[in-house]
Copies of this chain bind each other. A is one copy, B any other.
Amino acid sequence: MEKKLKIGLIGLGTVGQGVVKVLAKYDDIEIVSVAVKNISKKRDVEVKHLTTSVFEIVNNPEIDIVVEVAGGENVFEALKTAINNKKHIVTANKELLAKHGSELFDLARKNKVVILYEAAVAGGIPIIFPIKSSLRANEFSAVAGILNGTTNYILTKMDEDNIGYDECLKRAQELGYAETDPTGDVEGFDAMYKIAILSNIVFNKRIDINKIYREGITKITSLDMKLADEFGYKIKLIAQAKKMQDKNNESALDIRVHPMLVSKKRALSDIKNATNAVMLKGFPVDEVMFVGPGAGEFPTASSVVGDILAIKTEIHKNDDILPMSVCHHSKFANQINIENTVNCYYLRIKAINTPGTIGKIGLACGKYNINLSCILQKGVNEDGSATIIVITEECLERDINLMIKSIEETSEIKVLNRIRVM
């Protein structure tokens, strides 16, 4: 009989318990020990050994693979120790990889171990491995997706049930889709970590998350949803990265996370509830899209266990295992500032005194070379003000900001929301 593969697990929350349940059917894989915060907490699964010390796991000479599903930056030191102890790593920790991935991968290469992280982006959807295997002949020009299930659930409910953001957030919290402190999801941090990880492997560059433009969904109103729908769009939190040239004609990356009006003709507009989707564009493949559950006990465990099995197949070899899992990119990307990007914009404008307003908006747009694609005023509100919706053609972010500043100089016009259009 082959030697059993020995696992040390860090974290026994929803995903950790899923991993324990799924691994139960593999006679040749054994979870030796699990590190948790609170040993006495009631759980769904039984494990052989619990500890509160992650270092007990990463220093245990018996363990072949450290599986980390605790999340957060706190496990950084422990995982470095694990790698120095020649243990392979399987992790679902997007925050850690987005912030300290380069250091971890360098250390892993030095120690001839691998770090696999299929579960860190888009939960159960196979995306990391396909990019590195079947799609590896490609040069990618863009990656875009719905990478956060919580916000997509909230936006879907706002749209379908025509209720406000706060009410939807409360519902999402009650259903366990959103955390008590929802900041990480609703302000776009989670999606930012994921697009950083994706950009890293899609464009072979190191990514500085501090240079990623990030905007959450808290300013989206059900009125915006309704108006967008009338114009043929759905509002989604889109994480995207695109290859472009900066003003010096140097190759650059435009990476960002923010809400967008997505045309109903695009498949991404139709991704509902907690589902995730990732769209890749490259040559020679053209455009491919992957859709599936972005989180959850079992879907995430599917990816974690897939990674464990990938290592298991290769671990007995004398040569480098899984050479394609190694990250060779040592250079940082040239990340473009949002001010220098080109977008179409949806503006919801409130005008106190309607006569002449459309003219003022039109003049300001002309001044900054912004062409309008749609403009709509629907009657006059009860308070005498008017709501005017403008959708622009492509223009520089810097110019739309100047245009908005210029029309807001007169106190009668106020831009209540500005959302980019996909």
Residues of chain A whose beta carbon lies under 8 Å from any beta carbon of chain B:
18, 22, 118, 124-126, 128-130, 133-138, 267, 270, 282-293, 296-299, 301-303, 305-310, 313-314, 316-319, 323-324
Chain B nearest CB from A152 CB (Å) reads 15
Judging by beta carbons under 8 Å apart, are A138 and B302 in contact? yes
Q: Which residues of B contact A310 (CB under 8 A)?
A: 133, 136, 324
Check A288 against B285 for contact (C-beta < 8 Å): no
CB of A91, distance to nearest CB on chain B (Å): 15
Assess whether B288 is in contact with A290, with CB atoms less than 8 Å apart.
Answer: yes
Q: Tell me the bound Cα distance from A18 to B137 in angstroms.
A: 12
Residues in B with CB closer than 8 Å to A306 are: 133-137
Bound form: Cα–Cα A208–B128 in Å: 34
A324's partner among B125, B130, B313 (CB-CB below 8 A) is B313
Additional A-B contacts beyond A129-B130, A135-B302 (9; CB < 8 A): A134-B306, A137-B301, A137-B308, A267-B291, A285-B302, A285-B303, A287-B292, A287-B293, A289-B292
Partner of A319, one of B290, B301, B319: B319
Most chain B CB atoms below 10 A, which of A129, A137, A305? A137
A91 to B124, CA, bound (A): 29
Q: Which residues of B contact A305 (CB under 8 A)?
A: 137, 284
Complex CA distance for A286 and B293, rounded to whole angstroms = 7
Q: Is the CB of B130 within 8 A of A126?
A: yes
Complex interface: chain B residues within 8 A of A135 (CB) = 126, 302, 306
Whether A286 lies near B298 (C-beta < 8 A) is yes
Evaluate contact between B302 and A124: CB separation under 8 angstroms. no
Q: A133-B306, A137-B302 are in contact. Are A286 and B318 (CB under 8 A)?
A: no
Residues of B within 8 A of A282 (CB): 302
27 A-B pairs in the complex with CB atoms less than 8 angstroms apart: A18-B284, A118-B134, A124-B284, A124-B285, A124-B286, A124-B288, A126-B126, A126-B134, A126-B135, A126-B288, A130-B130, A133-B306, A136-B306, A136-B310, A137-B302, A137-B309, A283-B298, A284-B301, A286-B296, A287-B293, A288-B291, A289-B290, A291-B291, A310-B324, A313-B323, A314-B323, A317-B319
